[in-house]
Every structure is written in structure tokens, then in C-alpha cells.
Amino acid sequence: MAKMGKGWLKHGSKKDRFDWEDYTYLVDKGKTNIQIMDRLWDNQKKLRSKDRQGREDDQGKKGIFDKIQRWAQKDWQASTDWDSASGVDDWNFDLWGNQKFGEEDIKAARKAGASKYQIRQLYARAKEEGLHSRGAREWIKERNVAESDWDYGAHGGWGFDMEDIRAMKGDDYGLDQIIEARDFADKHGLTIGEKVVGHIQKLEDKAAARSLKADVRWGEKRDKIFQDKIEKTQAATMQKTAAAAEAGRIASMRGMGSQRLGASGAAIFKNKGLTSLGKGTGGGTSQFTRPSNHWPVHKLY
């Protein structure tokens, strides 16, 4: 809790209460409405009852605090645009409504340029700081605000930068998941770090080169498999042809009946009732005759 400095309570009618004279003095000294409002949040008891947050006088007029807060809001809106890189961290929950994250914060943030997902990020930050945020939770649920598997606020800023990529690599996230995280951030209005685009392009180029190399290796392997198949088919065809030729030769020999060929190619007759008389005396061919039990043998003179 920040206490009021010297001079904050010296200029009004009561030295223990903050009044308009004190406000004028501080503005003249260079204090902004936001700075004065922030200090008054921690020192509500230094304000009169009617001048505290959310109070009104008998005529329904806002008190000192609410007026200063409204001026502070206008100052912020006039001088500040929503920064998608630092907007979540820069957001001043004290500036809108009570010291919580509620409807007034959401309306102001959305008007300034915050995406629905960044409202979810503001809600996450409010929870971390222990601020009441039930209204924001209901707003997010009613609008079905997208969720991401990656916590953008856990590394670096609230956008997607090199710290996120390094963390994802350290957690064994693949290139596809890194690209998904980048695309989600881009779709939902988060800042993309300056080096992220080039770095992811290099990762994609390396992946493409590895894929091409793998395709070449597979092509070579496929060609070898195809060639081996052709050779096996040719060998099988030749084997079948040789087997068919052998079968034809055997069938041809069987078709000759009881004949078989001698070494000279002449037919040899078996078991037909003829016997050889041996060589002729003149060295001619052998003579054949029937066995004696068939015909009588007549000698030749």
C-alpha cells in the first residue's frame, strides 16, 4: 500500500483529507490523473465518504475519486493504443471500475483493440494477481473464446517470439506444432516476434530438404526392388521355358514307341523275334534270322 507523499494533504480545508485544492496542487507539480488515481486507490480513507470510489453526494453527483478516475480513463484512451505485444502486461486494472477485472475493463480493452483471446489472457493475469474476475470468466464462456494448448504468456511476452520457439523445442514439440502455435497467435491478434518468421522458414526449408533426400532414397530403393522383380520374373520364365522344352523332348521320344536311337542314329529293335547272325564274312552288315523254333533252318549251299 503506497502512502501519500508530503504535500498531498496540505492544501485543502482539512489537512487529513484529500480535497480539490490538493488535486490542483499535484497537477501543477506535473502529476497525471492516472498517478493521482493510483495513489488514491490505496488511500481511500483519506477521502471524505462522499468522495470515495463509487460514491455520490446528495444531488447524485460523483465524488472526487470517480471524477479523477474518469479523467484518467480519457487520458489513457487519448494517448494509448492497444499494443498486442505488451497490452496484457500494460493493462491497469485500477483504471476501470473497481480493482478487479470486470465488464468495464473488457469494454475498454476491446474498444482499444484487444482480441477476444487477449481478454482471456487478461483474465489469466488477473487470476494470477488475485483479482476478482468472475464477470470476465462468464464473458469468456458465453462467447466461447478460443483456447490454446500453448501458454503464450509463460515465455517472454504475451505473443509468440523466439523464447516460445526455444521452449517448444525444449519440450520436444515438432515443426508442425510450432507452426500451429504461430498461426494461432496470428489469427488471434498476438504479436509475432521479428525473428520468428525467418526462423520458421529455415526450419521448413531443412524439413523439405530432408524429405526430398528421403524421397530420393526411397526412389532408389523402389527402383532396385522393381529391377530385382524383373530379374526374378525373367529367371522364372526361362526356367519354365527350359522345363517345357525338356518335357517336349521326352514326349517326343515316347512318341517313337519302342524305338530308341543308338549312338549312330540307327534304330535298334528289341524283342521282335529276330536274332543276329553276326558279321558277314565280307565285313558287311549283320544278318538277322528267326529263331529255330519258328521255322526250320535250311543250310545254304
Residue-level pLDDT at 260: 52
* pLDDT per position as a tens digit, 2-55: 777 777 888 888 888 999 999 999 999 999 999 999 999 999 999 999 999 998
The answer to whether the beta carbons of residues 286 and 279 sit under 8 Å apart is: yes
Q: Please name the amino acid found at residue 154.
A: A
Look at residue 301 in the predicted model and tell me its pLDDT.
45
Q: Kindly give the parts of the chain with pLDDT less than 50.
A: 261, 263-265, 267, 269, 272, 274, 276-277, 295, 301
Q: Which residue has the cell 494533504?
A: 9
Distance CA(220)–CA(233), nearest Å, equals 20
CA distance 138 to 150: 22
Q: Say which residue the cell 485500477 belongs to.
A: 94
pLDDT value of position 269? 47
Determine the Cα angle at 256 with ends 254 and 261, to 5°: 100
Q: What is the pLDDT of residues 197-212, one digit of tens each?
A: 889 888 888 877 777 6
8 Å CB contact between 121 and 152: yes
Q: What is the pLDDT of residue 230?
A: 80
**5 and 38 Cβ atoms separated by less than 8 Å:** no
- Return the pLDDT at 265: 47
The DSSP result for the chain, as a single string, is -PPP-TTTTSSSSSTTS--HHHHHHHHHTT--HHHHHHHHHTTGGGS-GGGSTT-B-TTS-B-HHHHHHHHHHHHHHHH----TTTHHHH--GGGSSSSS--HHHHHHHHHHT--HHHHHHHHHHHHHTT---HHHHHHHHHTT----SS-GGGSSSSSB-HHHHHHHHHTT--HHHHHHHHHHHHHTTPPBPTTHHHHHHHHHHHHHHHHHHHHHHHHHHHHHHHHHHHHHHHHHHHHHHHHHHHHHHHHHHHTTTT-EE-TTS-EE--SSS-EE----TTS----EE--TTTS------
Residue 299 corresponds to which amino acid?
Answer: K
